[in-house]
Amino acid sequence: MAVELVFQKRPKPIQAMLDAFIMIKRSSRHILRNTDQLLGTFFQPIMFLVLFAAVFGGAISKALPEGVSYLNFLMAGIIVQTVAFGSTTTAIAVCNDLQKGIIDRFRSLPMNNLAVLSGHVISDVFRNGISTIVMLLTGLLIGFRSHASVTDWLIIAGILLLFTLAFSWLAAIMGVLAKSVEGVQWMSFVIVFPLTFASSAFVPTEDMNSVLRAFAENQPITQIVEAVRALILGNPIGDYGWLAAAWCIGILIVAVPLASWLFRRQSSR
């Protein structure tokens, strides 16, 4: 053999971080090379934004407070919805890795195997960041205006980051549990669709019937939408800020270990 092999030895935690970096690079390449999915990342949010604003705008604006346009109201909801639906990408990526032989390869290497999961989750955060920026720019083009200060936007970014992480880890659990990519799509539809629609993402909750309203007002999506919306509209954020953060952190505390445990168990069969 001509090439001399140079191995490096680093402390375990640093090694684990490097593994995560390598896996983030891998998952990001997947996202960039999967052209169909990439188009979805750009066009789906634009389509939703424009359609919802045009279709529901007239009817719903009457139910909105004085001086709030539906587009300005909708923006927070549509961003959160896009992130929630977008987490399916993580689920599919995890499911794919487990179904194909590649996971055996990773597990036979002296690497930290959980880096496979964190790679998918974190590259999904980048993708969602891009989707969100695309939506905001499109919004500006069709008349979206915000009163938020730079600090407000940083808080919005922070909340959305937490939310994306929380949902992607939940999605990772789905990806481990599902037997096929079709299964993933099904699961995410059944879970994410009701969560986003039975929330304040697209309509105020006041006009819902009492049962639906009780659910809508106490589930995480609404807390997150309301927190982001208050900041965008320049309203006081009230309890929504810490409720949103608490939900996300709560989800992360449960989902990260659970996903990791399930992943280890599933992949060692």
**HSE, side-chain direction, 13 A CA sphere, residue 39:** 2
In the complex, least distance from residue 158 CB atom to another protein, rounded to whole angstroms: 31
Total residue count of the chain as it appears in this document = 269
In the complex, least distance from residue 34 CB atom to another protein, rounded to whole angstroms: 7
In the complex, least distance from residue 214 CB atom to another protein, rounded to whole angstroms: 44
DSSP, collapsed to helix, strand or coil, labels residue 142 as coil
Measured from the CB atom, the residue of 7 and 62 that comes closer to another protein is 7
Measured from the CB atom, the residue of 100 and 147 that comes closer to another protein is 100
**Which distant-in-sequence residues (6+ apart) come within 8 Å of 75 by Cβ?**
49, 135, 136, 139, 144, 146, 229, 232
In the complex, least distance from residue 36 CB atom to another protein, rounded to whole angstroms: 12
In the complex, least distance from residue 248 CB atom to another protein, rounded to whole angstroms: 30
In the complex, least distance from residue 16 CB atom to another protein, rounded to whole angstroms: 12
Measured from the CB atom, the residue of 8 and 151 that comes closer to another protein is 8
Cβ pair 86, 41 in contact under 8 A: yes
Measured from the CB atom, the residue of 106 and 153 that comes closer to another protein is 106
Measured from the CB atom, the residue of 99 and 185 that comes closer to another protein is 99
Cβ pair 228, 78 in contact under 8 A: no
Measured from the CB atom, the residue of 92 and 224 that comes closer to another protein is 92
Which residues contact another protein by CB under 8 A? 1-9, 15, 18-19, 22, 25-26, 29-30, 33-34, 100-111, 268-269
Report the alpha-carbon distance of residue 153 to residue 150 in Å, rounded: 5
Measured from the CB atom, the residue of 100 and 145 that comes closer to another protein is 100
Measured from the CB atom, the residue of 104 and 207 that comes closer to another protein is 104
Give 65: exposed, middle or buried? Use CB within 10 Å, 0-12, 13-18, 19+: exposed
**Which distant-in-sequence residues (6+ apart) come within 8 Å of 239 by Cβ?**
none
In the complex, least distance from residue 55 CB atom to another protein, rounded to whole angstroms: 37
Closest CA to 39 of 164, 161, 127, 137: 127
In the complex, least distance from residue 172 CB atom to another protein, rounded to whole angstroms: 18
Exposure pattern of 207-228 as b/e (b: 16+ CB <10 Å)?
ebeeeeeebbbebbbbbbbbbb
Give the number of other CB atoms < 10 A from CB of residue 234: 12
